[in-house]
Chains A and B, each alone.
Chain A
Amino acid sequence: MSFQTAFESVRDGITDLSQLNVRTFTGEIVVTAAKLEGKDATLAGFLKEATQQGKLTVVGYTNMKIDGDVDQFISATAAESAIAAHNNAVQAGQASRAATLDLFMGLVREGIGKIKPEATTK
């Protein structure tokens, strides 16, 4: 993969890096393997099938805003591994979001005005 392809791929997906959301559910998850592959591998598709087969319970919810505000809910009855998974996802999300900002957004801002714009014709 070239850098250009990679950059464009990332660019197309970024819509809102100003806040981070992590939700963790637990329950009896029964889904077909196909739901985790190919075009069917969407969150909506997964949720639809998972909730048809059983009940999912939210055990963790974290919303972090760029100004530092944090909303968090952790279930007192959740399994230790589920809580660890949630906390880890929050940390991973924070690190990756910061890296994305550092790598892409910072460079874009530096690049604009420092690289001569391509010639335009009237």
Chain B
Amino acid sequence: MNGKEQAAFSRLGAALDDAVQLGYVGIDPQTQNADVVRARRRVVGEYLFLLGYLAKRPADDTRDRSQRTGDLSRSLGHDSDGDIREAVRNFQRDAGLTADGWVGPETWDAVQQLASFEYPTDVTRWISGEKQREVLWRAVYLRLFAFGLTKLPPRPNSRLQSKQEQTAQDISEGLGDFVRAVAVLQPSAPKLEPALVRETVSLLFDQHAVCALVKVYLDNPAWAPKQKQNLQLIKSFLCNTARIELWLYGYNVDIGNFKRKGPFFKPDRFTQSFDSAMQDFCSDHGKEKAFCARSQREESDVLGWFFAHLVALRLDLPDLQNPEDADRVVERVLADEKTMTGVRGAIKSLGARLWDGVTRAWNWIKSVFKKVVTTVKRVAKRVITNISRFVHGAALKVFSHVVAAIKAVVDGVDFLKEKIVRGSDPEHMVVFHDKDWDFEVFVNASADPAVVDNLTERIALRCEVFAVGGKIVGNLLSIFLSTLRNGVTTGWFALMLAFVRIFKSVKQLRAFSQRALTLMTELDGLRAQA
């Protein structure tokens, strides 16, 4: 190895150490990285607003000086940090957590479960805990409001469970309407109980399941209700379910009509934004915008296509056939400064939804990458917007694999440095190797074959662990180098670019790291036997 290569080795090691420390190769859920923490707290602000713990929603204005200076309270659209801390404390108190105002992993998990519409909700936890009832009521109220089944969203200073009889009644009626809508969507299924019971709440919180029910309903026109009241209910329910999906995908719609204090399906700006978002969705997914224009087509046709497409994206879409597409898209986006300005703005303005929509974005990206190469300018902003939402979830998922890989490589390097293989015993077998992997094996004539086999197998396993870990870390290093090459080394954008690359190989990474974990477990077993 020449001097240039030796220097590169040191630089690569230092670069990877920096990358791990800064969180570019995976976000530690407990990271203290300022960008990550700020973005996470911003999301919490949005969720606390949705749940009614904050009076104002976080600002999305990227020109806000406070964002550049990192003033969290101002970037959340509040006059003082006290509002946010108090909101977090109230949420924690209601959720049965330690009310310290600090958003740690437990608070983050709880708020995600209750307000994200995406994160799986442990319904048993919230239903069974007496202390958690208030926060469950708020989350249920939010869902009902988003589905258009209550007129008002949860608001601050209202103890929903006990003090606001009217609100409690709204929730009760909303649950009744939800159960009625579900009965229309799946006429043959047993009727749900219109109360805070496990079955009803589980379905209310399972957006994927609701979409699947809607899809089946739309496939069966004969199920359409005869009663006018039910027909109106189901029409509103379908549109609001579609609205939630569009919101999760990053289109410019809101869940529920917070401004007008009424979620119902009426011809106003609220509805116009829905139409516009639906047309954009159609266009981005290979349909003419006119297909989704209400004047051109029956609403049920549009919704039928929309939900069928969502379900297909989720279930049937094959993996990206040509992974080079991702690189080509990113390269073309990077080459156009005007587009890049828009892209950066989109990422910053995405706010709370940056963290949502992981599954949706995942499938969506796969489909878009296939189509986007020739029309990159038109859809680049949306592509990157959705990628950025995907980043956080992907980072969290990949992180555990990265940790496994690093352990595997460290074990492999330890192995490489050993002159005598650990476990060697002159009574049975002694194994030497150098750093070029040349082996000298000494088997005692009176050795126990079982002990020899055990050590032999352990050596093979350690080599395999090293090989597997090496592939993962090699992959990550390559991604990191690519990011450096693009000249962007800080912030979300770098992370996003890195994870576009990881996206291409994440399945492989998972397979490798799972193999590494299995091997290490086997190795521990063999060591214990020995």
Contact = CB atoms under 8 A, between A and B. Distances in A.
Interface in B417-471: 417, 419-420, 424, 426-427, 429-447, 449, 452-453, 455-457, 459-460, 462-464, 466-467, 470-471
Contact of B13 (A7, A22, A59, A81): A7
Contacts of B464: 95
Contacts of B462: 92
A56 to B, nearest CB: 7
Contacts of A121: none
A115 B10 CA distance: 12
Contact of A85 (B432, B441, B481): B441
Interface in A1-43: 1-17, 20-31, 33, 35-36, 41-43
B162 interface: no
Contacts of A72: none
B8 A112 contact: yes
Nearest to A103: B470
Residue of A3, A5, A7, A29 with most chain B CB atoms under a 10 A cut-off: A3
A35 B436 CA distance: 22
B434 A13 contact: yes
Contact of B9 (A7, A85, A99): A7
Contacts of A71: none
B187 interface: no
B8 A111 contact: yes
B416 interface: yes
Interface residues of A, number: 72
B478 interface: yes
A111 B449 contact: no
Given A13-B434, A96-B416, A103-B473, A8 B13 contact: yes
A25 B442 contact: yes
B412 interface: yes
B50 interface: no
Given A4-B10, A6-B413, A88-B459, A115 B470 contact: no
B485 interface: yes
Contacts of B484: 114-115
Chain A's interface: helix, strand, loop or mixed, by majority? helix
Given A96-B416, A96-B463, A3 B13 contact: yes
Given A29-B430, A89-B459, A91-B460, A13 B442 contact: no
A79 interface: yes
B442 A56 contact: yes
A85 B420 contact: no
A16 B430 CA distance: 23
Interface in B63-115: none
Interface in A88-122: 88-93, 95-100, 102-104, 106-112, 114-115, 118
21 contacts: A4-B13, A20-B437, A28-B446, A42-B419, A46-B442, A79-B443, A80-B449, A81-B447, A81-B453, A88-B456, A88-B460, A91-B460, A92-B462, A95-B463, A98-B467, A99-B463, A100-B470, A102-B470, A103-B474, A108-B1, A115-B485
